[in-house]
């Protein structure tokens, strides 16, 4: 398991340990990958978007909200509906809910996780020498 220092909510990585999660810094937070999917982003900035961001698709949001009533949209993304939902770190059920999310990830629940789009390779610039 590759882990960077100061990753918030380390109990989440402990829960996912058997799936060999990979953690990468991303936009001042930490992305958690299991197999080929990004499943979570862990963010602790003491603001309204601090907590565990859950990667999903719009078609699964209602189902996830019924399982996790404290699930809400991420305000950084504005009013647009994204495939990311979050549970804020200050929610009373934060740890319990995230433990359940981890169980779903380990069971391969199709509602959680997205395969990231492939990164575009950097173009090489050809220079003419005179």
User: What pLDDT score was predicted for residue 127?
Assistant: 54
DSSP code of residue 115 = P
In a domain, 125, yes or no: no
User: What pLDDT score was predicted for residue 4?
Assistant: 43
In a domain, 112, yes or no: no
What's the number of domains the chain is made of? 1
User: What pLDDT score was predicted for residue 82?
Assistant: 81
Tens digit of pLDDT at every position of the chain (130 positions): 555 468 999 999 999 999 999 999 998 899 999 999 999 999 999 899 999 999 999 999 999 999 999 999 999 877 777 889 999 999 999 999 999 999 999 999 999 999 988 776 666 555 555 5
In a domain, 64, yes or no: yes
- What lies within 8 Å, CB to CB, of 87 at 6+ separation is 51, 52, 54, 68, 70, 71, 72, 93, 94, 97, 98, 101
In a domain, 28, yes or no: yes
Is 105 in contact with 114 (CB distance < 8 Å)? Answer: no
In a domain, 115, yes or no: no
**Residue 66, domain extent:** 10-106
User: What pLDDT score was predicted for residue 104?
Assistant: 98
In a domain, 126, yes or no: no
User: What pLDDT score was predicted for residue 6?
Assistant: 83
């Amino acid at each position: 398991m590759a882990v960077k220092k100061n990753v918030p909510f380390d109990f989440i990585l402990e829960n996912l340990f058997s799936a060999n999660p990979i953690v990468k810094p991303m936009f001042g937070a930490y992305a958690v990958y299991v197999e080929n999917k990004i499943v979570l982003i862990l963010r602790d900035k003491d603001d309204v978007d601090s907590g565990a961001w859950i990667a999903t698709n719009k078609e699964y949001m209602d189902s996830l909200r019924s399982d996790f009533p404290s699930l809400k949209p991420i305000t950084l993304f504005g009013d647009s509906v994204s495939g990311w939902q979050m549970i804020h770190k200050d929610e009373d059920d934060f740890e319990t809910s995230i433990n359940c999310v981890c169980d779903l990830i380990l069971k391969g629940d199709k509602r959680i996780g997205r395969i990231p789009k492939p990164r575009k390779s950097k173009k090489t610039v050809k220079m003419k020498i005179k």
